[in-house]
Amino acid sequence: MRISVKRINKWTTAIAMLLSCSVATTHDFSGAHGTVTIDWSASNVSRVLSSGYGDSFGTESWSRKGLPELVEIEGRQCVKGSYFLFDVDDDFAFDIDETVTVELVFDRTQSEGLFYSYDQNVVAENSQQVSFHDSESRWYSQVIKLDRARFANRGESGSDFTIAAPDGTWFGDPEADHKIVLCDLLLKRSHESAEPLGFGELKLRVSDEHSRETPARIGLYAESGSMPMPSDHAVTIHNYANRDKQLFLRSTHGKVPVWPHRNRYFFYVDGKYEATLPIGKYQLVVSKGPEYALVQRTIEVTANNEISVHVPMARWADMPSNGWYSGDDHIHMTRTPNDNASISAVMQAEDVHVSNLLQMGNPYDTNFLQYAFGKNGRYRSGSHALVPGVEDPRTAVRGHTISLNINEVYRPTDQYLRYDQIFSEYRRQGGMSGYAHVSGRLFNVERGLAIDVPLGAVDFVELLQDGAIETELWYDYLNLGFKLIPTAGSDFPYLNAPGGDRNYVFVDGEFTVDAYYEALREQRTFVTNGPMLELTVNGHGMGSDIQLSPGDEISINARAALNPDIEMLDRIELVVHGVVVTVVDEISATNTVTLKHSLTVNEGMWLAIRAYGAEQTVAHSAPVYVTTDAGFESRAAVPELARRMIDKLAEFDTVVADETLELESWSVGEPLTNMLAEQRIKILERADDARAVYARMLDQP
């Protein structure tokens, strides 16, 4: 039995009814944000909104303790909640550049402080925390000055600024109070915005190395640091439920993508762009993924004149000419057939050859819908393809999962928490499945890996994400003797820009979508956010199996190269059984590094290479597997690792479904507890089977 639309609506309605007596909304939950409109008003504000998962201007909110409710306090109409978004009336202020003062009045007995962030002209992420002073008065007034406010509807759901409770953010304490009580809001403009002295016309053309017009990422910044609003000629970007013309590169996460301007907003063009701009000088930045040199120019727009700018893009590397094609395993964009051209233009601008567009599910809902699956859902433009897949099943009980290159979505209600059954169906369809967010260890992914890897259900692990690589869990399973393909994904729009983290896959022969997935399945791949890797072991490439005898010699040749427009290389490392065997940090003038090493084989092993840039880039190859009389596992490490996995399996005996850990808690809700209760016996049987595999490892001499 599969989840039906009626069943989804039933649960959504039940949750909405449960909250209807307190949630101050004018419509039901909407989209992956879980957006609601709040029936509360303030002067010069068109809409007040909230959401279950929020992401605007550097504030990432997670409303795990419920959505807003209206409360009346001493005759004042207030709103109580963890996260609020404000859409400033465009007639009051739109696309300005000035200081705006916001006076907020709170119920001090229930509010201790807040985070705020806003649409600013230069700094895309500007979340700041305010702690309230002690006060004996119930009503507490907090004045905030928003420097260089823009208010161009660039936030979530077209909002302009946000406030959040101190523990209502992603990193807040889930056990703490997540609420603030807002009772009034007053906006005051300074009217400092300067009027343009005149306008001119820009006509931009971007071409590739073959002189053909090509999509690209564009930054265009005035001397003030502000980026003019992109014109209608910019490519439409599917950003959650928004249809935007611009994005920004995050600067507040652990690894910061390189960009040569403080203003990290950018837009995409399909090869041509036209815009009317205020007169003045501008810095133009044009990029097209890690294989192309980044272009920076200064241009000047003069009054009543047209400036034509042609930017030819030059390759730093040509990976496809050597059989290597890039892919992003984790992109969320809602798609109809009419959206293919614009989405493809975005992915071509980032030079991603295989873009896996994932319909995202939880036990009771789906978002980022795809219009078709299998070959009917593919879209190809030259050597760039859009391919539908799913991030589903997906719970904090046992992790989020991804299935790629599937023909039909499979969402059985009675087996939803038995991931192996769903993986098996997708494997039957010719697809492949694995665990997301292994980098970051989010949503109890360790639990899912412990039960599914030893029973052969898992094809891959998402090793590189948000600029960070996590190898410990992957190395543990490799050392236990399990082959797992390393993959990388941007998780757009949640984390990185599309293609910010990617695989390169070696296709031996003509590039096709099917050939790409077959090569990925054979582990002819490496993950990267910049460095390019080469590796051979006795002439065999990444993912190879080599059978040798004890005493045989192996010769390892490896190379890393990095586009100097991204950053300089730091080193390359050879890893054997998870241990760094040798490091080379002698970087050439061309920003490359070469490693040559020989080893004597005593027992089976896996080996791989990884490379690091000076600050924020990293790459890791798939292993080469060397076997002698037995497997490639690390025999010395197996006992301790097997015991650790057995301990992890014990968590299934007592695990509970905690809705506050579910990203879409407003959608999943308490009924997940019932699903876990109904399927726990089968999960425990599965855990026993996995435990038996680990136990046999402990019995081996």
Helix/strand/coil (H/E/C) assignment for every residue in 543-591: CCEEECCCCCEEEEEEEEECCCCCCCEEEEEEEECCEEEEEECCCCCCC
Residues 415 and 621: their CA atoms lie apart, in Å, by 35
Preceding omega of 493 cis (within 30 degrees of 0): yes
Partnered with residue 273 across adjacent β-strands are 204
Of 595, 604, 599, 593, the C-alpha closest to 568 is 593
For 199-312, the fitting CATH number among 1.10.357.10, 2.60.40.2190, 3.40.140.10, 3.40.1160.10 is 2.60.40.2190
Structure tokens belonging to residue 343: 């989405």
Average pLDDT on 370-391 reads: 98
What pLDDT is recorded for position 29? 60
What pLDDT is recorded for position 6? 31
Residue 394 sits at the vertex; the CA angle it makes with 388 and 398, to the nearest 5 degrees, is: 140
**What is the third-level CATH fold of 5-189?**
Jelly Rolls (2.60.120)
Residues 660 and 62: their CA atoms lie apart, in Å, by 9
Q: pLDDT tens for residues 509-533?
A: 999 999 999 999 999 999 999 999 9
The packing angle between helices 638-649 and 472-479, to 10°, is: 110
Q: pLDDT tens for residues 678-697?
A: 999 999 999 999 999 999 99
Handedness of CA 169, 237, 525, 610 (dihedral sign): negative
What pLDDT is recorded for position 26? 39
Average pLDDT on 542-547 reads: 97
Structure tokens belonging to residue 20: 């209807």
Please check whether the two domains, 5-189 and 199-312, share a CATH topology. Answer: no
Preceding omega of 454 cis (within 30 degrees of 0): no
Partnered with residue 185 across adjacent β-strands are 104
Residues 461 and 445: their CA atoms lie apart, in Å, by 10
Secondary structure (3-state) at 683 = helix
Question: Could you tell me the residue ranges of all domains in the chain?
Answer: 5-189, 199-312, 327-529, 530-634, 640-699
Secondary structure (3-state) at 634 = coil
308: how many CB neighbours lie within 10 A of its CB? 9
Structure tokens belonging to residue 81: 């909640």
What pLDDT is recorded for position 38? 95
Based on the number of CB atoms within 10 Å of its own CB, is 643 exposed (0-12), middle (13-18) or buried (19 or more)?
A: middle
Of 201, 328, 214, 219, the C-alpha closest to 274 is 201
234, 269 contact by CB (below 8 A): yes
Residues 595 and 582: their CA atoms lie apart, in Å, by 9
Confidence of residue 208 (pLDDT cuts 50, 70, 90): very high
Of 335, 367, 403, the C-alpha closest to 8 is 367
Which helix (H) or strand (E) segment holds residue 339: the answer is none
Handedness of CA 18, 19, 21, 27 (dihedral sign): negative
Handedness of CA 515, 506, 433, 348 (dihedral sign): negative
Mean pLDDT of the chain: 93
Secondary structure (3-state) at 278 = strand
Q: pLDDT tens for residues 408-466?
A: 999 999 999 999 999 999 999 999 999 999 999 999 999 999 999 999 999 999 999 99
Partnered with residue 308 across adjacent β-strands are 203
Which DSSP state fits 438? T
What share of the chain has pLDDT > 90, as a percent? 87
295, 208 contact by CB (below 8 A): no
| Residue length of the chain | 701
For 327-529, the fitting CATH number among 3.40.1160.10, 3.30.70.100, 3.20.20.140, 3.40.50.620 is 3.20.20.140
- Using the structure block, give the residue that is written with the tokens 């059985």: 412
Q: How far is CA 373 from CA 90, 369, 387, in A?
A: 41, 11, 8
Residue 11 has pLDDT above 90, yes or no: no
First and final CA of the chain: distance in angstroms?
A: 45
The packing angle between helices 445-452 and 419-428, to 10°, is: 60
Confidence of residue 538 (pLDDT cuts 50, 70, 90): very high
632, 605 contact by CB (below 8 A): yes
Residues 504 and 516: their CA atoms lie apart, in Å, by 10
Confidence of residue 618 (pLDDT cuts 50, 70, 90): very high
Secondary structure (3-state) at 48 = strand
Residue 104 has pLDDT above 70, yes or no: yes
Q: How far is CA 293 from CA 286, 328, 405, 484, 564, in A?
A: 9, 21, 32, 33, 8
Structure tokens belonging to residue 299: 């241009």
Which DSSP state fits 227? P
- Using the structure block, give the residue that is written with the tokens 């909104």: 49
Confidence of residue 9 (pLDDT cuts 50, 70, 90): very low
Residues 204 and 129: their CA atoms lie apart, in Å, by 41
What pLDDT is recorded for position 362? 93
> Which numeric CATH code is attached to 530-634?
2.60.40.10
Residues 397 and 444: their CA atoms lie apart, in Å, by 6
Residues 508 and 594: their CA atoms lie apart, in Å, by 24
397, 444 contact by CB (below 8 A): yes
Residues 342 and 258: their CA atoms lie apart, in Å, by 25
What pLDDT is recorded for position 576? 98
Residues 137 and 107: their CA atoms lie apart, in Å, by 9
590, 561 contact by CB (below 8 A): yes
For the chain, the 3-state helix, strand and coil shares in percent, each to the nearest 5, are 20, 40, 45
184, 174 contact by CB (below 8 A): no
Handedness of CA 415, 416, 417, 418 (dihedral sign): positive
What pLDDT is recorded for position 665? 86
Residue 203 has, within 13 A of its CA and on its CB side, a CA count of: 4
What share of the chain has pLDDT > 70, as a percent? 96
Average pLDDT on 473-478 reads: 98
591, 560 contact by CB (below 8 A): no
Structure tokens belonging to residue 444: 């109890």
50-66 burial, b for 16+ CB within 10 Å, e for fewer?
bbbbbbbbbbbbbbbbb
Of 232, 259, 261, 264, the C-alpha closest to 247 is 264
Higher pLDDT, 383 or 176: 383
Pseudo-torsion of CA 562, 563, 564, 566, nearest 10°? -100
Average pLDDT on 470-496 reads: 97
Residues 364 and 669: their CA atoms lie apart, in Å, by 9
Which DSSP state fits 195? P
Residue 673 sits at the vertex; the CA angle it makes with 667 and 674, to the nearest 5 degrees, is: 105
Residue 448 sits at the vertex; the CA angle it makes with 616 and 647, to the nearest 5 degrees, is: 105
Residue 17 has pLDDT above 60, yes or no: no
What pLDDT is recorded for position 252? 85
Residue 10 has pLDDT above 50, yes or no: no
User: Residue 206 is which amino acid?
Assistant: V
Residue 488 has pLDDT above 80, yes or no: yes
φ, ψ dihedrals at 310, nearest 5°: -110, 125
Of 254, 265, 56, 80, the C-alpha closest to 181 is 80
Residue 1 has pLDDT above 80, yes or no: no
